[in-house]
Amino acid sequence: MHYRPEIDGLRAVAIVPVILFHAGIGFFEGGFVGVDVFFVISGYLITSIILTELKEKRFSFSSFYERRARRIFPALFFVMAVCVPFAISLLQPVELLGFWKSFVSATLFASNFFFWTDTGYFGGVAELKPLLHTWSLAVEEQYYLLFPPFMVVVWRLRLPFIVVFLVVIFCISIAAAQWGAIYKPTAAFYLLPTRGWEILAGALTAIWLSEHAIKSSNLLGVAGLSLIVISILTFDGSFGFPGLYATVPVLGTVLVILAATPVTLVGRVLSSKTVVWIGNISFSLYLWHQPILAFLRHEFGYSLRLITVVFAVVLTFVLSWITWRYVERPVRDRSFLSGWSIGLSSVLLIGLFVAIGGIGIFNHGATYWISSNQRHMLETAIPSPKRGDCHTGGAQYLKPEDSCVYNGKPAAWAIFGDSHAVELAYGFGEVLKPSEIGVAHFSYSGCKPAWRNDSEPKSCKNWTEEVVEYIATHQTIKNVVVSYRLNEALFGSHLGVWPKIPNSTDEVTRGKRWKALLGTINRFERSGKNVILVLQAPETPTDVQNLILATPVEGDAVKGVSADWWERRSAFVRSSLSQIPDDVTVFDPASIFCTNEACYAVKNGTALYFDNNHMSTEGAKLIAAEVTRELPK
């Protein structure tokens, strides 16, 4: 295929918004669509090459994958290697453990699976992950493990039949993407089956142009570029991606590829020297921007100052040019590195990186060899295995009738609240399992007390109203446990504030949330339920894994906050408990987790938390056992 400079220019249109989006520039909240543009370009270019070689009967799997290795591995491995010392020096152990997991996953081109199970894409936590962006490389490489063999197998058929096959797969993929964007948004965002249609859009474009001459069109070129720009400037993380909304930048990219030649207005812009130069280094730009921004956020805080953002962007361009000039270009030259050499070095580097990352994972992110005592503590710092299936959130939340019930129906117990109810539900399920008593799980992520509280997000309020009425009118449910991250809901998060006492929630909001909690409890009580309010467990200064690994542990306990700090943090709730009806049981986890001097993150060699505020499964079981011991089952 002949070189088209406007395609390199299109890469620039894709990469710049991605960088500015991750940098937090407000006008580019839709900059993430640059990845969708990249997928289409990649599908177009690779398919064009495969078609040309198949027609000329010179396609070779070894040559194809050698080219992919030359294109991807050198720059990727170079950037990943540079990230290692910064990760070790800047990340806390629990963050470093996540880095090593992503490091291994990225090496094996499976990081989209890791980030699917580990985090979403939008929001502060994601932006702190140095290798988050490697998910898209994983999607592409997984596609290119499947697509060339498919083309070789079906090549004996006439081209129209091949197109029909691809269109059917395209339709299945886009339908799955739209369904997933609504019901499984994180999986849809990261996984090949729901991303494949975007790459196939480029592939089908390549097939069309292999049989038809490019017809220059100013109208179509401007329309295509406009669709991309509109997506960048108007979309944000609330749009369902990669569902039907993604068709806007995808269609725009296809139109530009089909019609924007150097004789058109858009083609001339995209073929300009500066734009093509940015496109040429776009792969290195993509590799460098995320780790630079992530490490700066770890060092200076999530909200970077403008001068720091400018520095990050400039540094990204400088390092990207160096990488392109001295890593990417030389390795693509066969006279510099033979095919045999690139294959052997790729295998060795993959093995080395997996080994290095594996050691980091085995050591739980510690920079020194940990003791067996610490290892046991870390192994108990785990969340509920039912979090993924039974915890809900967002507009498409689990309806109460579809919620999880442990130990078989009917449920006699219901655990209700925000994410702090997740492990409690599992803990009560485990404690009551020998008695074969059903436990219903109702939890919504980040949902503050919202019963008849119009100030809270609509979906949270709707879920609360539906579930409260479901529990209140469900005859088999006799006992209701209410659990919220109450102190955080009333006064704000302790993270970044400790050892000061948080106070970032205004009094009006605090009053509405407390009133909503009282209303919820009263509604359950009026329906004849036995109500148990489990107060928030004491928070820890940082994730429990960091506390365990902060210093070599001797003994079987690790302290969290002081008892005095937690007493002051909980003062409002404790002073307001008199407003709770007398026949409601109030249980305070501090009675188990704290002494007169300190609240513990680890007791008796077992972690009571899996992060800095959520109880671990073992911690939750302690609470469940104590509650059920005092109450009839």
CB 127 within 8 A of CB 293: yes
CB 190 within 8 A of CB 121: yes
Question: Sign of dihedral through CA atoms 306, 307, 310, 316?
Answer: negative
Three-state DSSP at 381 gives coil
Within 10 Å of residue 148's Cβ, how many Cβ atoms?
22
CB 404 within 8 A of CB 386: yes
How confident is the model over 284-297, as pLDDT tens digits? 999 999 999 999 98
Q: Following DSSP, what letter does each residue of 440-461 receive, concatenated? A: EEEEBTT----TT-TTS-HHHH
405-406 vs 438-443, strand pairing mode: antiparallel
Average of pLDDT values for 448-472? Answer: 95
Task: Please report, for the chain, the start and end positions of each structural domain, with discontinuous segments joined by +.
Answer: 5-362, 383-537+563-594+615-630
User: Cα dist. 272→54, 266, 276, 537, 612 in Å?
Assistant: 32, 10, 6, 60, 51
Instruction: Assign domain 383-537+563-594+615-630 one CATH number from 3.30.160, 3.40.50, 3.90.25, 1.10.287.
Output: 3.40.50
Report pLDDT for 121.
55
How confident is the model over 236-289, as pLDDT tens digits? 777 778 889 999 999 999 999 999 988 999 999 999 999 999 999 999 999 999
Strand arrangement, sheet containing 558-562: 558-562, 598-603, 606-607
Angle (nearest 5°) at CA 481 between 403 and 582 = 150
Q: What value does the mean pLDDT of the chain take?
A: 91
Average of pLDDT values for 604-625? Answer: 95
CB 425 within 8 A of CB 384: yes
How confident is the model over 324-383, as pLDDT tens digits? 999 999 988 777 777 788 889 899 999 999 999 999 998 888 777 888 888 889 989 999
245: tokens are 């909304």
> Per DSSP, what are the bridge partners of residue 440?
405, 414
Q: What are phi and psi of 601, to 5 degrees?
A: -90, -30
Residue 324 is given by DSSP the state I
618: tokens are 């073992």
**Residue entry with tokens 């117990």:** 413
Q: How many CA atoms lie within 13 A of 419 on its CB side?
A: 15
Is the per-residue pLDDT at 124 higher than 70? no
Indicate the helix (H) or strand (E) that contains 558: strand 558-562
Q: What are phi and psi of 596, to 5 degrees?
A: -70, -20
60: tokens are 């070779």
Is the per-residue pLDDT at 528 higher than 80? yes
How confident is the model over 138-185, as pLDDT tens digits? 999 999 999 999 999 988 888 889 999 999 999 999 999 999 888 888
Choice between 396 and 619, residue whose per-residue pLDDT is larger: 619
How confident is the model over 401-410, as pLDDT tens digits? 999 999 988 9
CB 601 within 8 A of CB 608: yes
Is the per-residue pLDDT at 122 higher than 70? no
Is the per-residue pLDDT at 225 higher than 80? yes
CB 443 within 8 A of CB 415: yes
Report pLDDT for 214.
86
Report pLDDT for 291.
97
Choose the weakest-confidence range: 3-12, 101-110, 123-132, 429-438: 123-132
CB 444 within 8 A of CB 404: no
